[in-house]
Amino acid sequence: MIKPVSRSPRRKGDHRMQKAIMRGCVTAVLLLWCAPAWCGSDETPDRSVRPFERFGRGVTNIITSPLEIPAQMYNRAAYQQEHDSNPFAFVGGFVEGIPMGVVYFGWRLGAGCFDVITFPFQRFDESIIDPEYVTFSYTSLIQD
């Protein structure tokens, strides 16, 4: 008896190649589908911060978060020196700035992690800490 010959004989590696092509197509479709959220086009002028600016702000806040301790010490000492008649009030400001700096350190670190995690999503556009970056000027912290 004669065996029927198929028109396209399959080799052992064909299924692997098909799976690899399918995975590549699915990955490309997913990347193209998510691209507008990652890129932040200029077509929407109402956005205040682009995603990679938010990512950069988050990385900056994570790296500079330990500087909150000396920054708060300086800010409290400068504030006390300006608003108190006691010549040693700035020493109390330095002491008061240590626990405040520890709290702000954790807050800035958390805000940086939040920005890094949520940077591709438009919904989380504004910084959750004010000021957005570490500052050594207490006058910038006063809200008029």
Q: pTM of this prediction? A: 0.60
Helix (H) or strand (E) holding 106: helix 89-118
Question: Using an 8 Å Cβ cutoff, are 49 and 110 in contact?
Answer: no
Please tell me the distance from the alpha carbon of residue 59 to that of residue 57, in angstroms, as a whole number. Answer: 6
pLDDT string in tens for the chain (144-residue length) = 666 655 555 555 567 777 888 887 777 766 665 555 555 555 554 556 688 888 999 999 999 999 999 999 998 888 888 888 887 887 888 899 999 999 999 999 999 999 999 888 777 777 888 888 888 876 655 554
